[in-house]
Structure 1
Amino acid sequence: MKRITLLITSILIGMAVHAQTGLPKLILKNIEGKSVQIDTLSNNGKPMIISFFATWCKPCNRELKAINEVYADWQEETGVKLIAISIDQAQNVNKVKPLVDENGWPYEVLLDPNSDLRRALGIQLIPYVLVIDGKGNIVYKHNGYTDGAETELYEKVKEACGK
């Protein structure tokens, strides 16, 4: 009986240690080609939104456009930073920067052409957003987008910064 208890305890501790509370240790490139280590992303103790999108994904683009309309207000009130991560495959990566420029998105944009980060986080469908608190913990996850969903997202950002 002691062995079973010890085994179960060991398994539970192992699961707790491996539980995904923050971002995985991976390197992606930004749209300028600079390497960015994902697990070191931070916003000086303020929350971050990480939004997975693709150039061909209409709901993704609607979501990023809707957020852009209120992003300056969100930043002023909470200091939030949005990092948009394109999952476009390598042959379509050249479409990302023109889309970002055309829409005037002020977001930091990273490229995940092999879906390494998407897989590491277990993301199946896009659009997909994460809210990360100032300590680097993932505190909210949501996939899909309907008009107005950015309001709920902003509530989660405010919760992440204690407002």
Structure 2
Amino acid sequence: MKHLLSAIALLFAFTAIAQSGNFKKIPAVEIKNLNGQTVTSTDVIQNGEAPIVLSFWATWCKPCVTELNAIKEVYEEWQAETGVKLIAISIDDPRNAARVKPFIKGQMWEYDIYIDENSDLRRAMNVNNIPHTFLLNGKGEVLWQHTGYIPGDEDKLLTLIRKVAKDGTL
């Protein structure tokens, strides 16, 4: 009985660590592309050695849209300098998912965009508030994360992207 209780306590401890965001690799979770096809998160989050920015957002989230629009203005330069890839994960639910594709066209975003309709990836990565931005190395390992957006955050993000592009780490 004593061993059983110890095992249960250990299981809860590991679960708490996993949910706190203390993970290294992106979990393999099903998400959808803009054509409604199911893909696995680990398959789309690959960029060789170049950094990856993973941004959780929603069409109804004004700070999310502001952040992604601010990055849009400099994204081409970032890519030329660092090879960075931005992947935007919409957390719009199934009722709003049909709005995502036309919304993106209206914003003219050139990012890779996926939809996490059931919030499986969101939960797996412990994303509670959006915008929630992760910086990963090209292998899909989480190096940094940030919640919220204020103007100028994209400059701080670029500094980190440059470091990851140069050293592969922070």
TM score, norm. by length of structure 2: 0.83
Displacement, 1:35?
A: 2.2
State the distance in 2 between where 1:131 and 1:153 align.
8
Alignment deviations for residues 135-161 of structure 1 (CA, whole Å, 9 cap, x no partner): 321001000001111001111111111
State the distance in 2 between where 1:81 and 1:149 align.
17
Q: Superposition pairs for residues 1-163 of structure 1, below 5 Å? A: 15=14, 20-40=23-43, 41-162=45-166
Contact 1:52 1:86 in 2 (8 A): yes
Displacement, 1:95?
A: 1.0
Which blocks of at least 5 consecutive residues in structure 1 are unaligned?
1-6
Q: Give the secondary structure class of the aligned counterpart of 1:91.
A: coil
CA RMSD of aligned residues (A): 2.2
State the distance in 1 between where 2:28 and 2:74 align.
31
Alignment deviations for residues 26-45 of structure 1 (CA, whole Å, 9 cap, x no partner): 11111112222112320122
Contact 1:47 1:80 in 2 (8 A): yes
The amino acid that maps onto 1:35 is: T
Contact 2:137 2:164 in 1 (8 A): yes
State the distance in 1 between where 2:36 and 2:59 align.
18
Displacement, 1:162?
A: 1.8
State the distance in 2 between where 1:162 and 1:79 align.
11
State the distance in 2 between where 1:152 and 1:32 align.
33
Which blocks of at least 5 consecutive residues in structure 2 are unaligned?
1-5
The amino acid that maps onto 2:153 is: A
State the distance in 1 between where 2:36 and 2:91 align.
15
Displacement, 1:99?
A: 1.1
TM score, norm. by length of structure 1: 0.87
State the distance in 1 between where 2:89 and 2:105 align.
15
Aligned residues between the structures: 154
